[in-house]
Chain A
Amino acid sequence: MSEQAPDTVGRGLAEDARNRVRFEEEALSHADQVYQVARHLAGSKEEAEELMQETYARAFRSWRSYTKGTNIRAWLLRILTNINIDQGRRKQRRPPERSLEEGDYSLYDRLEQTSGDGSAGDEERLLQRLSQSDIVDALAALPHDFRDVLVLVDLGEFSYQETAQILSVPIGTVMSRLHRARRLLKQSLASSLGGER
């Protein structure tokens, strides 16, 4: 076994420290985007903030396990989803038993049927009738397995493959959960329009 010269060891330590600083800076530069996803994976703003702190603490400790050049946002969210699951914060919720056979576009039809203000055909105007609280509530009411996939794909803008890796599930599971999540979300939002005219 050969011993390294002290200056070689010193250079190695300095390089290690620089790599660590670079990693931390890069991880922090993605914090806003990670938070946008965390906010809706967690049940509340407070939980999201706790999750973020636990995630970054673990990420900073584990920085050597990150492979430089790979998707750091996906890596951080993998840690975050693992913590979220490990801590058992998520209450299991059974998928609603209502039929999913109804077309995927019932929300569009419902918005048009109840528009009555000449906004039919104008998608952006129709959608503005859905309030932020309607959408937040409908998303929060989804079974968590479905919500996780929808949040990662639609808010996090991850590919199916990246989402599968973050959640450690097969890509086919991502596709089927996403399909059901979108249907359920739209059905729920269509119901929230109720008898509104």
Chain B
Amino acid sequence: MNEAPCPKCESLLQLYLDGELNESEAREAEAHLDGCGYCRRQYRFERAFRAYLRKTLCEEPMSAELKVKLTALRSDASPGDCL
């Protein structure tokens, strides 16, 4: 690795990638990314990792049988129960 680890990486990048920063904080994160090669590299990887995780784990669709069972519950459910 060419650049030294940066202490701002984890806290700022995770929040930025999760869409949890407000506008000014997001701008601060983007400015940091512009000036920090280490963070830029990690940001690219982290973004790709999350997309890969989602793609890999969400590729098994719900079975048609389960869909039928869930739909059938509509007519069987009785009103008035609570959570």
Contacts and interface: CB of A to CB of B under 8 A. Distances in A.
A146 to B, nearest CB: 14
Contacts of B41: 108
Interface string A55-79: 0111011111100000000000001
Interface in B63-83: 63, 66-67, 69-71, 73-74, 76-83
Interface string B10-36: 100010001110000000000000000
A155 B53 contact: yes
Contacts of B54: 154-155
A24 to B, nearest CB: 5
Interface of B: 1, 5, 9-10, 14, 18-20, 41-42, 44-50, 52-54, 56-63, 66-67, 69-71, 73-74, 76-83
Contacts of A103: 5
Interface of A: 20, 24, 28, 31-32, 35-36, 39-40, 45, 49, 52-53, 56-58, 60-65, 79, 82, 103-105, 107-109, 123-124, 127-128, 130, 132, 135-136, 139, 153-155, 159-160, 178-179, 182, 186
Given A52-B70, A107-B49, A132-B56, 18 more contacts: A20-B79, A28-B70, A28-B74, A35-B62, A36-B58, A49-B63, A53-B73, A60-B77, A61-B81, A65-B83, A105-B42, A108-B41, A108-B42, A123-B45, A153-B18, A155-B54, A159-B19, A179-B10
B52 A130 contact: yes
Contacts of B61: 32, 35
A108 B50 CA distance: 13
Contacts of B50: 154
B45 A105 contact: yes
B48 A127 contact: yes
Contact of B14 (A24, A61, A179): A179
Contact of B77 (A61, A82, A107, A160): A61
